[in-house]
Amino acid sequence: MNEIKPASRGGWSGWKTRILVSLVVLLIGARVALPYLIEHYVNQKLAGINDYTGSIGTVRVHLWRGAYSIHNIRILKAEGKVPVPLF
């Protein structure tokens, strides 16, 4: 007689693997997009400051140490005839 064996409940089934792979791809995508999102957000906030104008360049995120670095910061006081750097 042919016996029908029940499906095993242990191990990784197809849906668990797909969820894990999807989560890893989502986290990698978020990590890649994070510097651009931070740069856009900071430039938007700098544009909203009265009497000042400014922008930032490249943002690098260092997740392993919980830090970030901003390159090419430019903040100028827009009042008067000649713009004066903030720092």
Spatial CA neighbour of 56 closest among 40, 67, 72: 72
Decide if 74 contacts 54 (C-beta within 8 A): yes
Rounded Cα gap, residues 10 and 2, in angstroms: 23
Spatial CA neighbour of 56 closest among 68, 41, 73: 73
Confidence of residue 8 (pLDDT cuts 50, 70, 90): low
Supply 34's token pair.
């994070």
What average pLDDT does this structure show over 75-83? 74
Is residue 6 pLDDT above 70, yes or no? Answer: no
pTM metric for this prediction? 0.69
Confidence of residue 85 (pLDDT cuts 50, 70, 90): low
Give the containing element (helix H, strand E) for 49: none
